[in-house]
Structure 1
C-alpha cells in the first residue's frame, strides 16, 4: 500500500512537471492560456451563469488538453524521425487537426455563451 501511495505521488509530480514545461515553453499553450484568460475576464464582466462557466471551463480544458497531446505527439515524431518524412508530416497534421476540432468546438461554445450578452 505504501508503494502504491508513493507511486501516485510521483505520478502527480510528473504531471505537474509536464504542466509547467508546457506553460513555460510551448507558444501555442501560452497563446491559448491568454485567450482563456480573456474569456475568463469576459465571464466575470458579463456575469455568466454557473452552467455557462461549466461549459466555458470544459471548452478551455478541451483545447488545452488537445494542444498538450498534440505537443507530445510532435515531440515523439521529432525524436523518432528528426528529418522531414511525409508520413511523419501526416501524423503531425492529424494531431494538429484534432486541436482544430477542439478549438472550433470551443468557439461555438463561446459564441453560444456570449452572443446573447453582446446582443443586449
Structure 2
C-alpha cells in the first residue's frame, strides 16, 4: 500500500474540516444564529463601506465567535458521550465552555458597536 504524500494528506484534512464545519452549521442552532449574524454584519460592512482595518476586526470577531462556539459544541458532545447522566463536574466543564463563548461574544459585540455606532449615528 502506497503512503499518502504530504499534499494528499493536507487535502484530506481540509476535507474533514469542511465536513465538520458543515455538520456544525447544519446541526447546531447557536451556530445557525451566529452565521446569520455574520451575514448581516457582512452586508452592513458593504453598506457602510467600512475600512480595511474595520473589515479585519470584523472578520476576526466573527471567526473567534464561530470557532469558540464550535469548540464549545465539541466539548459538550464529548461530555455527553463520556457521562450521559447529570454530574456536577461535567456541568462545570460545560458551564466554563459556554462562558468562554459568552466572553468572546461580548467582545465581538463591542467590536461591532465601535465599528457601526459612529456610522449609524
Normalised to the residue count of structure 1, the TM-score between the two structures is 0.94
1:110 aligns with 2:118: no
Give the SS at the match of 2:84.
coil
1:34 aligns with 2:36: yes
Which among 80, 96, 100 is matched to residue 78 of structure 1?
80
| Structure with higher helix content | 1
Partner of residue 17, structure 2: 15
Separation of aligned partners in 1, 2:29 and 2:94: 17
Runs of 4+ in 1 over 6 A off after TM superposition: none
1:27-83 deviations in Å (ceiling 9; x for gaps): 100000011111111111111111111100100000000000000000100010011
Separation of aligned partners in 1, 2:5 and 2:55: 38
Normalised to the residue count of structure 2, the TM-score between the two structures is 0.94
1:60 aligns with 2:62: yes
Separation of aligned partners in 1, 2:98 and 2:108: 15
Q: Please, which runs of 5 or more residues in structure 2 have no aligned partner?
A: none
Q: Please, which runs of 5 or more residues in structure 1 have no aligned partner?
A: none
Residues 3-12 or 85-94, more deviating: 3-12
